[in-house]
Amino acid sequence: MTAYATGDLQPSPFDERVAPTYDAGSAHMFGPDALGPTVDVLEELAGDGPALELAIGTGRVALPLADRGVEVHGIDFSEAMVAELRRKPGGDRLPVTIGDMATTRVGSGYALAYLVYNTITNLLSQDEQVQCFRTVAEQLAPGGSFAIEVFVPQLRRMPPGQTAVPFHVGSRHVGFDTVDVVTQLSVSHHYTQAGEDADGRRVARYAASAHRYVWPSELDLMARIAGLRLRDRWAGWDRSPFTAESESHVSVWTKVAD
């Protein structure tokens, strides 16, 4: 199998190469079982107030949330992803600011800010992640909520000396993470079948992106630095209990009233 690299290692660029096929590659996240509970929780947290989505992307969450009557604003650094959002019904009505989610301010008085699907890990340093919390807190109304969905690092799967762990092995895709436990940086490697070459050999496309994994307790401390306090933590959007075996969590912090 021949593999071709997509370029230097970096956080996923979500550029003109990625954006047009992003939805298809994340199709399982658009199903009612995945999306329904997400929107249910966010609608309840927003109440009658406006919501701010960091890394709004192609609008997977923002559009159905807006359809329920929630005023949704967005931030995203990728003009290509926002262009895909604009092509969808209702996508032209959502205000979106192009910018870095760690530092970009778009307003104040938000009842809810949210960051889903592991995207907090696209910020590659602890300082950036802390700044993201601070920037969000500055824009929340007193009592407003910040919700994050992110995986729990699965370091228990790795025996001493092992630095790689697979997360998907299939006939058309193989994915694994390599982990540096000192810097908390992990690199996701993807080999995806991309047809055959002229000699009939299967060809795989290689892509990699860097992430900084973050522990639940570490997020709680970032929240405290920003003036937020933990309100809820679940294993998922269905509000199932968070346990030592949970592989992900949805956490909600609220802004302490002055």
In a domain, 7, yes or no: no
Residues 171 and 232 in one domain: no
Query: Which pTM was predicted?
Result: 0.88
Greatest CA separation for the chain: 69
The pLDDT, as a whole number, for residue 6 is 38
Q: Which two tokens stand for residue 39?
A: 């929107």
Please identify, among 178, 194, 212, the residue that sits at the C-terminal boundary of a domain: 212
Residues 126 and 100 in one domain: yes
CA distance linking residue 258 with residue 250, whole number of Å: 26
CATH number of domain containing 140: 3.40.50.150
pLDDT tens per residue, range 72-102: 999 999 999 999 999 999 999 999 999 999 9
Length of the chain: 258
The pLDDT, as a whole number, for residue 105 is 96
The pLDDT, as a whole number, for residue 197 is 78
In a domain, 11, yes or no: no
In a domain, 12, yes or no: no
Residues 217 and 248 in one domain: yes
Contacts of 135 (CB under 8 A, 6+ apart): 101, 102, 103, 104, 105
* pLDDT averaged over every residue in the chain: 89
Residues 115 and 25 in one domain: yes
The order of strands in the sheet holding 185-196 is 2-4, 202-212, 185-196, 173-180, 164-169
CA distance linking residue 195 with residue 120, whole number of Å: 33
Residues 74 and 103 in one domain: yes
Among 246, 221, 244, 228, smallest CA distance to 236 is for 246
For 40, the domain range is 19-153+213-255
Q: How is residue 5 annotated by DSSP?
A: -
Residues 43 and 108 in one domain: yes
Instruction: Name residue 234's amino acid.
Output: W
The pLDDT, as a whole number, for residue 10 is 54
The pLDDT, as a whole number, for residue 178 is 92
The pLDDT, as a whole number, for residue 33 is 83
Residues 110 and 224 in one domain: yes
The b/e string for 80-101 (b: 16+ C-beta within 10 A; e otherwise) is bbbebbeeeeebeebebbeeeb
Answer yes or no: are the C-beta atoms of 122 and 12 closer than 8 Å.
yes
The pLDDT, as a whole number, for residue 258 is 63
In a domain, 4, yes or no: no
In a domain, 3, yes or no: no
Q: Can you list the positions of beta strands (E) in the chain?
A: 2-4, 51-54, 72-76, 96-98, 110-115, 140-151, 164-169, 173-180, 185-196, 202-212, 228-234, 248-255
pLDDT lower than 70: segments of the chain: 1-13, 15-16, 18, 23, 258
Three-class SS state of 82 = helix
Residues 141 and 28 in one domain: yes
Residues 199 and 80 in one domain: no
The order of strands in the sheet holding 51-54 is 96-98, 72-76, 51-54, 110-115, 140-151, 248-255, 228-234
Task: Give phi and psi for 53, each to the nearest 5.
Answer: -100, 120
Residues 106 and 140 in one domain: yes
